[in-house]
Amino acid sequence: MQRLRQRALILQAVRNFFISREFLEVQTPVLVSTLAPEPYIEAIEVPLGKGDSLYLITSPELNLKRLLAKGFEHIFQITPAFRKNECGTKHLTEFTLLEWYSVYKDYVWLMECCEELLRHAAKVVGNWPVIEYGGMKMRLDRPFYRISVQEAFIQWAGWDPVANYDADRFDLDMVEKVEPHLLMNRPVFLYDYPAQCAALARRSSKDIRVAERVELYAGGLELANGFSELTDVKEQIQRFQEDMERMSAMGRRPYPWPAAFLNSLELLPDCAGMAMGVDRLVMLLTDARVIDEVVAFPFKGV
């Protein structure tokens, strides 16, 4: 009960944060004809009969970028999103996602934006400037810790994923060797991912082997993921093709080709966008160890 009240306050704080910065709150469809191919994120298919089907969004990303291409400059959406086979203490099949996008910005701006957003939300629920999560105190009034994926892996996993990317080992070592070190006395940004694991992110101008992708962690929770967005149509088409091939190789049926999105990409200005798990933000700020505690009626999947 108490956590649901706090959740309402946090949602209101998020809205106020963006509206006061002249972002437009938008709504885009939850039921869509196609999605960005993601080898490890599976959408729920909604059959319409006669062999046709739609999908429940795993993220509103493609829709929001289409709005940017139409000329909107600063937008955000708070939406339910669905990911098949994801349930656990930090995962729900149906969860709430906050995404925001802004034109002529990059991932450095996203990091600053996350810092300000977390501070603002923590003040609203009365946990300022120190929040406690799972017995761990974190200061929010100082800059969050920043470490590149390359540094983190060399330091804690003993190898360099940028020089020699190994997809299988990367995920395993991320969970077993890197993430345990991200439990720090302040939130942490992990940034500059190997280009192979950033489907919709722009390559760094400093090192083309990495993509300008950033993840925010706090108290062991992976809170948000963002990119300096890829706007190169040719490269986007190539990455989608590669990911669709990977999906087929894994025995999954690829989604229909995202033509409408790719057409709009021609008009997409440079921009940056971030996706934050609202349920996890509420977990962090209300010291909930299990995601079920911050939603009204958790659906754990079948």
Partner 1 sequence: MYDSSDLRKGLKIVIDGTPYIVTDFQFSKPGKGQALYRCKLKNMMTGYTMDRTYRSGEKFEPANLDEVQMQFLYKDGDGFHFMDTQKYEQVALTEEQVGEAKNFLKENMEVTVLFFDSTPIDITLPIFVELQVTKSDPGVRGDTATGATKPATLETGYVIQVPLFIEEGDVLKIDTRTGEYVERVKR
Q: How many Å apart are CA 178 and CA 292, to the nearest integer?
A: 26
Which residues, 6+ apart, have CB-to-CB distance to 176 below 8 Å? none
The counts of H helices and E strands in the chain are 8, 13
Q: How many Å apart are CA 8 and CA 20, to the nearest integer?
A: 18
Q: Rounded to the nearest 10 degrees, what angle do helices 2-19 and 107-124 cross at? A: 130
**88 touches partner 1 (CB under 8 A):** yes
Q: Is the dihedral of CA 21, 24, 30, 34 positive or negative?
A: negative
Give, as one character, the DSSP assignment of residue 158. Answer: S
| Closest by Cα among 52, 59, 9, 7 to 33 | 52
- Amino acid at site 169: R
Give, as one character, the DSSP assignment of residue 43. Answer: P
**155 touches partner 1 (CB under 8 A):** no
Q: Which is nearer to partner 1, 79 or 93 (CB)?
A: 93
Exactly one of 21, 91, 186, 289 binds partner 1 (CB under 8 A); which one? Answer: 91
**252 touches partner 1 (CB under 8 A):** no
Q: How far is the CB of 104 from partner 1 (least distance, A)?
A: 25
Query: Which listed range, 20-28, 87-95, 122-130, 258-266, lies at the site for partner 1 (CB under 8 A)?
Result: 87-95
Size of the site for partner 1 (CB under 8 A): 26
Residues 15-74 close enough to bind partner 1 by CB under 8 A: 38-41
Q: How far is the CB of 33 from partner 1 (least distance, A)?
A: 22
Query: Which listed range, 27-35, 100-108, 196-204, 264-272, lies at the site for partner 1 (CB under 8 A)?
Result: 196-204
Exactly one of 12, 16, 27, 85 binds partner 1 (CB under 8 A); which one? Answer: 85
**293 touches partner 1 (CB under 8 A):** no
Q: How many Å apart are CA 216 and CA 214, to the nearest integer?
A: 7
**215 touches partner 1 (CB under 8 A):** yes
Q: How many residues belong to the chain? A: 302
Query: Which listed range, 47-55, 88-96, 128-136, 277-285, lies at the site for partner 1 (CB under 8 A)?
Result: 88-96
By CB under 8 A, name the binding residues for partner 1: 38-41, 85-91, 168, 170-172, 174-176, 179, 193, 197-199, 215, 222, 225
